């Protein structure tokens, strides 16, 4: 199977854009979608066209994983526990066609330079990629000396994160320190039209989101600037985060298993829906490439695992198996993320939008094909395009 063609025509596609559009034909040229409609477009015989009859299979926009450690995470139990960079196929095999990379605990042996370099590498391999500047700690690691100028002057840098709060591994930022970073994010958004959010790592601490709630009460910084993640790790934290969506914050669920005090990812999404919170303010990400450490009360590491983007995709299929409709849950994996991060050509299937798409199998319990920017990366369940150093 060739990974590229001048034109690709997908016939009889059951399109979720994310709204359910029914059976349509989709014409793709280069990296863009040219046509979505019921009629078959008439193309000249002199054109090279790859034509595929999908026989009613569901076609979705590619997933956006907006929290992934593309350079690798870890390092919390010594240098040997540093996770290597995440290869291309770990994303596309899971249906992820856009990623946003970041630093976590280790913003010393890794830095903004290495994240930006990995963004460019993934782009060269055919993935859409961006990144955050900064990491867990203050003062933040940057390329230009400030997070605002990083966002303004470095094209792939769209926001700040993941700055840690309510966590023993954080730099214990004060209220004044937090709102100064948030203010820089907001001004950078005004100057550039980029996302300009402050992506906040939430730990297990009882303080939870108190700093964010105070910021919304005492400052003029817009609520959309504050974007907490890992909010399903404790039930009380999740309830607190859900309330913030009513004030205009987007919140992010992480697709890893939680402890006894948290909500499993699918459970968190269902709870959010049942409680009637704003469905356009919820996203899910994988924490891919990052470590999943467990600590005792003394802050000592007791065990460690590592996340992948496939965990996020598994939650999507779990929700389908539990009776949720594709169009109801799909925005959490696509359109909501694109709206938060100001990525207008991502997260939906639309004419002139990027040709990033997923084709589900007939049973809707696995992925048949994945296309990123008009090129097949996975076809008939087989990974046909891999990263430069993948075997």
- The average confidence (pLDDT) of the chain is 94
Q: Is 261 annotated as a binding residue?
A: no
Known catalytic membership, residue 287: yes
CB 279 within 8 A of CB 331: yes
> 222, 185 in Cβ contact below 8 A?
no
Is 271 annotated as ligand-binding? no
State yes or no: 287 annotated in a binding site: yes
Task: Bin 335: left if φ > 0, else alpha if -120 < ψ < 50, else beta.
Answer: alpha
- Of the residues 106, 107, 167, 287, which is catalytic? 287
> For residue 140, what pLDDT is reported?
96
State pLDDT tens for residues 69-101.
999 876 666 777 778 899 999 999 999 999 999
The rounded distance, in Å, linking the Cα atoms of 343 and 252 is 17
Residue pair 19/63 in contact by the 8 Å Cβ criterion = no
The model's pLDDT over 102-141, given as tens digits with 9 standing for 90+, comes to: 999 889 989 999 999 999 999 999 999 999 999 999 999 9
Angle at Cα 98 formed by Cα 329 and Cα 59, nearest 5°? 50
DSSP 277-327: --GGGEEEE--BTSEEEEE-TTS-EEEEEE--HHHHHHHHHHHHHTT--HH
Strands 382-383 and 375-379: antiparallel
Model confidence at 43, pLDDT cuts 50, 70, 90, reads confident
pLDDT tens profile 245-262: 999 999 999 998 677 799
- Architecture in CATH of 7-60+352-383: Roll (2.30)
Q: Give pLDDT, residue 53.
A: 98
| pLDDT of 83 | 82
Task: Return the minimum-mean-pLDDT range out of 185-194, 218-227, 301-310.
Answer: 301-310
Q: Is 230 marked as a binding-site residue?
A: yes
Annotated domain spans of the chain: 7-60+352-383, 62-340
Q: What is the pLDDT of residue 79?
A: 78
Which CATH code, of 3.30.43.10, 3.40.1400.10, 3.90.79.10, 3.20.20.140, is assigned to 62-340? 3.20.20.140
Residues 6+ apart with CB under 8 A from 42: none
pLDDT at 333 over 80: yes
Task: Classify residue 244 as exposed, middle or buried by CB count within 10 Å of its CB (0-12, 13-18, 19+).
Answer: buried
C-beta separation of 57 from 41 below 8 A = no
pLDDT at 277: 98
Flag whether pLDDT at 4 surpasses 60: no
Tell me the pLDDT tens digit for each residue of 270-316: 999 999 999 999 999 999 987 666 666 776 666 666 688 999 999 99
Alpha-carbon distance 231 to 361, whole Å?
32
The pLDDT value given to residue 76: 65
Q: Is 67 annotated as a binding residue?
A: yes
pLDDT (average), residues 178-185: 98
Burial class for 248, CB neighbours closer than 10 Å (0-12, 13-18, 19+)? middle
């Amino acid at each position: 199977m060739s990974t590229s063609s001048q034109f690709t025509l997908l016939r009889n596609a059951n399109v979720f854009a994310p709204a359910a559009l029914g059976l349509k034909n989709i014409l793709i040229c280069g990296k863009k979608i040219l046509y979505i409609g019921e009629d078959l477009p008439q193309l000249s015989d002199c054109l090279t066209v790859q034509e595929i009859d999908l026989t009613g299979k569901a076609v979705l926009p590619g997933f956006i994983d907006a929290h992934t450690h593309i350079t690798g995470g870890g390092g919390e139990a010594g240098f040997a526990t540093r996770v290597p960079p995440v290869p291309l196929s770990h994303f596309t095999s899971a249906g992820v066609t856009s990623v946003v990379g970041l630093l976590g605990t280790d913003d010393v042996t890794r830095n903004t330079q290495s994240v930006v370099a990995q963004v460019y590498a993934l782009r060269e391999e055919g993935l859409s990629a961006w990144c955050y500047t900064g990491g867990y700690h203050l003062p933040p690691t940057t390329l230009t000396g400030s997070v605002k100028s990083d966002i303004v002057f470095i094209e792939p840098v769209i926001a700040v994160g993941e700055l840690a709060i309510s966590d023993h591994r954080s730099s214990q930022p004060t209220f004044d320190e937090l709102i100064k970073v948030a203010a820089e994010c907001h001004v950078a958004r005004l100057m550039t039209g980029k996302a300009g959010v402050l992506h906040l790592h939430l730990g297990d601490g009882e303080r939870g989101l108190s700093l964010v709630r105070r910021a919304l009460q005492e400052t003029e910084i817009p609520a959309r600037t504050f974007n907490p993640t890992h909010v399903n790790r404790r039930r009380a934290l999740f309830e607190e985060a859900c309330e913030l969506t009513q004030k205009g914050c987007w919140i992010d669920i992480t697709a890893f298993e939680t402890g006894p005090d948290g909500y499993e990812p699918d459970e968190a999404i269902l709870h959010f829906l049942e409680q009637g919170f704003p469905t356009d303010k919820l996203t899910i990400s994988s924490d891919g490439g990052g470590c999943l450490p467990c600590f005792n009360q003394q802050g000592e590491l007791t065990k460690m695992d590592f996340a992948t983007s496939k965990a996020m995709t598994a939650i999507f299929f779990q929700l389908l198996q539990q009776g949720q409709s594709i169009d109801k849950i799909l925005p959490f994996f696509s359109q909501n993320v694109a709206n938060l991060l100001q990525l207008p050509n991502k997260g939906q299937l639309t004419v002139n939008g990027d040709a990033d798409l997923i084709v589900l199998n007939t049973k809707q319990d696995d992925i048949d094909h994945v296309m990123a920017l008009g090129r097949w990366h996975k076809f008939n369940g087989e990974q046909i395009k891999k990263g430069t150093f993948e075997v």
